[in-house]
Structure 1
Amino acid sequence: MAELGRRKFLGAVGAAGIGTIVTARAAGAETAGRGGGVVFVGSYTSSPPAGHGLDVASRSGAALRLERTVPSVPDASWFALSANRSVLYATNELVPDGAVTALSLRAPANPRVLNTQPSKGSAPTHLSVHPSGRYLLTANYGSGSVVVHPIRQDGSLAEVSDLAQHTGAERDAHAHQVVTDPSGRWVLAVDLGADSVYVYRLDLGTGKLTKHEQVVLPSGAGPRHLAFHPGGRVAYVLGELRAEVTVAAWDAARGKLTLGEVVPTVDANAPVPSYPGEIAVSPDGGFVYASNRGEDTIATFAVRDSGRAISRVGNVATGGVWPRHFTLDPSGRWIYVSNQRSGTVNWLPRDPKTGLPGRSQGSLAVPSVATVLFR
């Protein structure tokens, strides 16, 4: 498929040397907020230069340091934690036919593989744990499907209990994300190829999905990910093919997503295409962030009207190239960006009052890096 071919190409572009670290400036380290703890870093092992798969890193101040690579977790492009944070789940995106892996965190700094299960589709790019703790939900980008794996008592994965296949009207379907809404009642899947957000019911007894609604965005929008406002009544849908955020009202009682205003993530004269990568909301709900891979920036949006309106207040360089993913640290004072092409995780201080990130204060080299998760 054309989109899958583009993904493999992008994953193959340059990165930095293994394990090199540039420590944060002293002032940055002093204001890092909550430090320490375990950090998981995922990278592509099948894309040159080959990444490590799953790395465990430690944190001192704001700076990350690689501690060890966990074997047998190839192409780890996304992570999710179990409800009690005792099990880590990872996509194995580029392995033949696609797979997902469960790892015990009984010793958090030394994850142990429990088992790996086929994802029943190609290029699984995203996964999440249902709030019930009973099911793992995975989006297969290559084959455009969403699958459900029951979670056993020890956290390992049983065989797939259901598969929902998407169909694109103008392009092949490419499911890119699957999450549960804040109420826990609905499962939402974002499909880039179908220009749609699917809303499902999940039967907790059988592990079966039932389609409730398909919300179709304008042709060519290419929705990639969505993030909910903490109030639970608004979702922000990030377009990858069109660099924009669509603000959507969310009615949890009816499982109804209503599309609203559309706000660009870049200026009109920005590099084309911009290929936005990730979207997130600050813990206080005051700001929305989106990464732009074309211009290598994080866009910041100020939130108004209880989340129902946003305005872009600035774009800041990520300190690297091709920001596939970013995450806020537990304190909300630092943003960690996975710059895939430069092979660096960069950390940027975040002003909680203005919402704006500052310049990169340091970086950790991880070839073909894809994602970072704080435990």
Structure 2
Amino acid sequence: MTSLPKALLKAALFATTASATNLFVACTNGNLTTLSLTGTGNTSNLAISSWTNECASNPAALNLDSQNRILYCMDRASSSSVNGSMNSFDVDTNGNLTRLARIPVPASGVWAGFFGAEGGNKGLATVHYNRSAYSIISISDDGQLNGPVQSTFPTLSAPGPITLRQDRSYLHQVQTDPTGKYLIMNDLGGDMVRVFTYDTETLAPVTEVSQLLTEAGVGPRHGRFLTAASGKLYYFFVGELSQKVYSYEIAYTEGGMSWTKVFEIPALGVGNERAPQTAPTSGIELTPDNKFLIVSNRDVSFLAKDGPTDTLSTFSINADGTLELVQLAPSGGWSPRQFSLNKKGDLLAVGHQNNFTVIIWQRDLVSGKIVGEGKSITLSTAVVATIWDETRLIQSAYEILSNPQKRRAYDATLPSDFRKSSTFAATCDDASDSEEEYSNRDLNKEHDEDLQHAL
């Protein structure tokens, strides 16, 4: 397989950023919307390019298989429902969605995560908050769904101290550990992080093998893993009920994992604490350079109690796994349930439940701070999930650079000084990859670095 040179990717930047980057957004009225982000900085524009209601009635979690161009959308359904659904959609080059499959899953699904061994079956693990359940779904590269092949309802030996939220198990996130051998589920109701193994051939049965037991009343919601430069493995998570961020060092044992607490800090920073259960934490993300953690805070989370927005907290990560508050920045709206970073890490998309907005924030990669608002858009109802789709950057580059007519039109749009440069000359030498070779690449691996440099 030939490989397009870095110069070609850099030249393609002019075309791909001028076209669009897509985002997928889930809203509680049943709409699954594709947003198109064009331009950069103050000249950018954010607009609806298409939408579907085929993840109705209440889409809540989105997962993109970028290599196979399949978007998975979990419908949590109404609070009185027994079942919701998992849905798969084909994603075309413009971000239009066509539903491929739909199966019932327990209601109140709030998060899903890919898992599965290389060469083995692939699956989606899902967690269902109000049903106190997790499910395992078998998936295929063409978006077909099978299952659930397992649905389990964990229990607690005793309720937690915050009885309204901890009368039973409430799972809120599932992901794999860095080895891919374990499934990690945060149990807000049980004050624990549950660790499971799974069958690499059949996916199920999924078996619980160990637990991290937190202090009472923490309410683990979401977390992220970091393998430090020292080789140590850390797990950072937010306690929704305690309104704090926690750091634990992890070691692998014969039976699963052992956990050693390293650090905790109020999610709004020392001295900025709010009264219990008034500013619950929600999302947490690790920046692509592994240098910063960003946390979203809800309800009464800004320094002024009647302030204009809720808050995004940025923490720098020290070598020993401790955290330092870098910035408290406005999220731009009320109740930022979830947010996501682009691959480069210089843009952050946050959706708001209470004023229905999606806002794109600009980040400084050196300081880690949010430095400016890009564009925003108001949708028809509460926004609960927003994710990026940057795969089409490469697809757009291929479409332009491998088609002589499109290539000539594209070349004419470039600045004259760039057309005279050696970088541009290098792009004229080789665009020999086939479209199949291009589209089958895993952008999260060897070409991801090239793309990030180009951007």
Same fold (TM over 0.5): yes
How far the C-alpha of 1:138 sits from its partner, in A, is 0.3
- Judge conservation of contact 2:288–2:343 (CA < 8 Å) in 1: no
Q: How does 1:115-126 map to 2 (within 5 A)?
A: 115-119=101-105, 121-126=106-111
Report whether the alignment pairs 1:181 with 2:177.
Answer: yes
- Judge conservation of contact 1:34–1:331 (CA < 8 Å) in 2: no
Query: In structure 2, do the counterparts of structure 1 residues 163 and 257 end up closer, same or farther at CA, with 3 Å as the change threshold?
Result: farther
Q: How does 1:273-288 map to 2 (within 5 A)?
A: 273-288=278-293
- Judge conservation of contact 1:39–1:372 (CA < 8 Å) in 2: yes
Query: In structure 2, do the counterparts of structure 1 residues 260 and 87 end up closer, same or farther at CA, with 3 Å as the change threshold?
Result: same
- Following TM superposition, the consecutive aligned residue runs of length 4 or more in structure 1 with deviations greater than 6 angstroms are 32-35
Give the Cα separation in 2 of the matches to 1:309 and 1:35.
41
Which of residues 348, 351, 365 is equivalent to 1:352? Answer: 365
How far the C-alpha of 1:106 sits from its partner, in A, is 4.6
Identity percentage of aligned residues: 23
Query: In structure 2, do the counterparts of structure 1 residues 83 and 196 end up closer, same or farther at CA, with 3 Å as the change threshold?
Result: farther
Residue matched to 2:314: 300
Give the Cα separation in 2 of the matches to 1:177 and 1:249.
19
One-letter amino acid of the structure 1 residue matched with residue 69 of structure 2: S
Residue matched to 1:24: none
Q: How does 1:1-375 map to 2 (within 5 A)?
A: 36-45=20-29, 52-60=30-38, 61=40, 62-74=44-56, 75-82=58-65, 84-95=67-78, 96=81, 97-107=83-93, 109-119=95-105, 121-132=106-117, 134-168=122-156, 169-170=158-159, 171-207=167-203, 208-231=205-228, 233-252=233-252, 254=254, 255-258=256-259, 259-267=261-269, 268-272=271-275, 273-294=278-299, 295=301, 296-305=310-319, 308-366=321-379, 367-375=381-389
How far the C-alpha of 1:98 sits from its partner, in A, is 2.0
Query: In structure 2, do the counterparts of structure 1 residues 33 and 266 end up closer, same or farther at CA, with 3 Å as the change threshold?
Result: farther
SS of the residue 2:185 aligns to: strand
Give the Cα separation in 2 of the matches to 1:336 and 1:153.
27
How far the C-alpha of 1:81 sits from its partner, in A, is 1.8
Query: In structure 2, do the counterparts of structure 1 residues 34 and 129 end up closer, same or farther at CA, with 3 Å as the change threshold?
Result: farther
SS of the residue 1:237 aligns to: strand
Give the Cα separation in 2 of the matches to 1:325 and 1:66.
19
Larger radius of gyration: 2
- Judge conservation of contact 1:319–1:359 (CA < 8 Å) in 2: no
- Judge conservation of contact 1:34–1:330 (CA < 8 Å) in 2: no
How far the C-alpha of 1:261 sits from its partner, in A, is 1.3
How far the C-alpha of 1:109 sits from its partner, in A, is 1.5
One-letter amino acid of the structure 2 residue matched with residue 59 of structure 1: L
Instruction: Name stretches of at least 5 consecutive residues in structure 2 with no aligned partner.
Output: 1-13, 160-166, 302-309, 390-455
Q: Which has the higher contact order (CA 8 A, sep 6+)?
A: 1
Please say which of residues 134-143 and 268-277 is displaced more in the overlay: 268-277
How far the C-alpha of 1:253 sits from its partner, in A, is 5.9
- Judge conservation of contact 1:179–1:187 (CA < 8 Å) in 2: yes
Name the count of aligned residue pairs. 337
- Judge conservation of contact 1:316–1:359 (CA < 8 Å) in 2: no
SS of the residue 2:344 aligns to: coil
Give the Cα separation in 1 of the matches to 2:95 and 2:372.
30
Give the Cα separation in 2 of the matches to 1:345 and 1:305.
34
SS of the residue 2:59 aligns to: coil
- Judge conservation of contact 1:144–1:191 (CA < 8 Å) in 2: no
How far the C-alpha of 1:284 sits from its partner, in A, is 0.8
Instruction: Kindly indicate which of the two structures has a greater share of residues assigned to helix.
Output: 2
One-letter amino acid of the structure 1 residue matched with residue 20 of structure 2: G
How far the C-alpha of 1:64 sits from its partner, in A, is 2.1
One-letter amino acid of the structure 2 residue matched with residue 77 of structure 1: A
Query: In structure 2, do the counterparts of structure 1 residues 314 and 35 end up closer, same or farther at CA, with 3 Å as the change threshold?
Result: farther
Under a length normalisation based on structure 2, what TM-score does the superposition of the two structures give?
Answer: 0.70
Post-superposition CA distance 1:27-49 (Å, at most 9, x none): xxx9x98982321111111xxxx
Please say which of residues 343-352 and 85-94 is displaced more in the overlay: 85-94
Query: In structure 2, do the counterparts of structure 1 residues 112 and 33 end up closer, same or farther at CA, with 3 Å as the change threshold?
Result: closer
How far the C-alpha of 1:94 sits from its partner, in A, is 2.6
Please say which of residues 92-101 and 208-217 is displaced more in the overlay: 92-101
Under a length normalisation based on structure 1, what TM-score does the superposition of the two structures give?
Answer: 0.84
- Judge conservation of contact 1:227–1:235 (CA < 8 Å) in 2: yes
